[in-house]
């Protein structure tokens, strides 16, 4: 099934997974600036950016499906979002990536391979 899924569709979902990992960091930063007023939530540029990022993720998914990708193949690839988030946290906050995390990432990649096969 992986070979029947166009590489552009796979690439589109990989981009979506990176964007999907960035959005929570925008929400986190925006949430730290909130003071409890609704207007702060609505006008916060980081929260708006996070929402726009998730909309962009759906655009990439739609493109991937339009290219002929299947949910069975593409959605497991989107699970790499967890790996990208760990890398972003490491780069941005210096959060360590421990051997147990690397093991979890390897299991995730193995699961993606199995689901896509």
Burial category of 21 from C-beta neighbours within 10 Å (exposed 0-12, middle 13-18, buried 19 and up): buried
State the Cα angle at 47 between 42 and 50, rounded to 5°. 135
Tokens of 19: 């964007």
Per-residue pLDDT at 1 = 44
Mean pLDDT per 10-residue segment, the chain (117 residues): 78 97 96 85 92 98 94 91 96 94 94 82
Given this model, what pLDDT does residue 38 score? Answer: 83
pLDDT attached to residue 3: 57
What is the pLDDT, as a whole number, of residue 36?
79
pLDDT for res 2: 46
pTM for this predicted structure: 0.87
């Amino acid at each position: 099934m992986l070979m029947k899924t166009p590489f552009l569709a796979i690439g589109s979902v990989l981009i979506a997974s990176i964007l999907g990992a960035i959005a929570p960091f925008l929400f986190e930063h925006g949430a730290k600036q909130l003071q409890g007023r609704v207007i702060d939530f609505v006008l916060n540029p980081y929260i708006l950016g996070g929402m726009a990022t998730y909309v962009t993720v759906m655009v990439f998914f739609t493109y991937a499906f339009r290219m002929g990708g299947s949910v069975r193949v593409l959605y497991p690839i989107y699970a790499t979002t967890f790996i990208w988030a760990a890398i972003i946290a490491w780069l941005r906050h210096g959060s360590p990536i421990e051997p147990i995390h690397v093991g979890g990432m390897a299991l995730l990649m193995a699961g993606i391979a199995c689901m896509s096969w």
